Structure 1
Amino acid sequence: MTAIRAGQLTRRIRIQQRSVVQDSFGEALAQWADLITVWAEIQPLSGRELEVAQRISSEVTHQIVVRYQPMFADTRAVAAYRAVYKGRIFDIHASLNEDERNICITLLASEGLNEG
């Protein structure tokens, strides 16, 4: 993708990062905090069904395209993020900066196996 056309990014998504907090008993709890809200294009790529914990689960992989943000430059940090769109949770696995042009970022994500 060389340029982002007007009207291409039609989904408003939240990018979240996991943080660990302690409850009143001192137990560590995982929470998700919003980092940024951006416009995106979400395209499904593939789907599969598999057995997890003796039940059938489905997983769908997606390509999420967003405008370039410096926070997406560190691929290892981005792999710890998730995207949320209308209650749907997408676990982000990688970010791709096409041709290193800093125009758009493609996030490779999956949906369905867990809740982040």
Structure 2
Amino acid sequence: MDTTLLDSGQLSARLELEMPQPVTDGQGGIVAGYAIVASLWAMIEPVAMPDREQADRAVFSITHRITIRFRDDVTAGMRFRKGARLFIIRAHSDPDERRRYLVCRCEEDGR
């Protein structure tokens, strides 16, 4: 993706950036939870829909490229939320190394 041609008006999807945060389950244990870090504007692009088989059914992992304004606190394992949709960040990069945009490779959680 050539970010030199990116118009900031293309960042038109409102997302919540969430980070993993353990939560107590009330019985002395811990369950996985998430806390909101920020609300931000993004561009969501579907990239691929590889299918794979799991036991007796097909499982689909829809992958996306999500572009946001640069942040240095984004790490793999965080996720974006858009309503009920969840996008888990698998990797990210600064495409032109100018700290303007951050491109995140995400997998949509289809639970």
Q: Normalised by the size of structure 1, how large is the TM-score?
A: 0.84
Is 1:85 aligned with 2:87? Answer: no
Alignment coverage as a number of residue pairs: 109
Structure 1 stretches of 4+ moved >6 Å: none
**Structure with greater strand percent:** 1
The answer on whether the counterparts of 1:3 and 1:103 sit within 8 Å (CA) in structure 2 is: no
Tell me what 2:102 maps to: 105
Q: What secondary structure, in the 3-state scheme, does the structure 1 residue paired with 2:10 have?
A: coil
Deviations 1:43-101 (A, max 9, x none): 001112222243221111110000112213xxxxx102011112111111111112210
Cross-structure match for 2:20: 18
Match of 2:44 in 1: 42
Identity of aligned residues (%): 28
Q: Residues of 2 paired with 1:19 and 1:53: CA distance?
A: 31
SS of corresponding position for 1:70:
coil
Query: Could you tell which deviates more after superposition, 1-10 or 91-100?
Result: 1-10
Report the 3-state secondary structure (helix = DSSP H, G, I; strand = E; otherwise coil) of the residue aligned with 1:26. Answer: coil
TM-score by length of 2: 0.88
User: How far apart, CA to CA, are the structure 1 residues paired with 2:65 and 2:8?
Assistant: 19
Following superposition, the deviation at residue 103 of structure 1 comes to 0.4
Structure 1: stretches of 5+ with no match in the other structure: 73-77
1:32-71 to structure 2, matched below 5 A, reads 32-71=34-73
- CA RMSD between the two structures: 1.6
Change (3 A) 1:3 1:71: farther
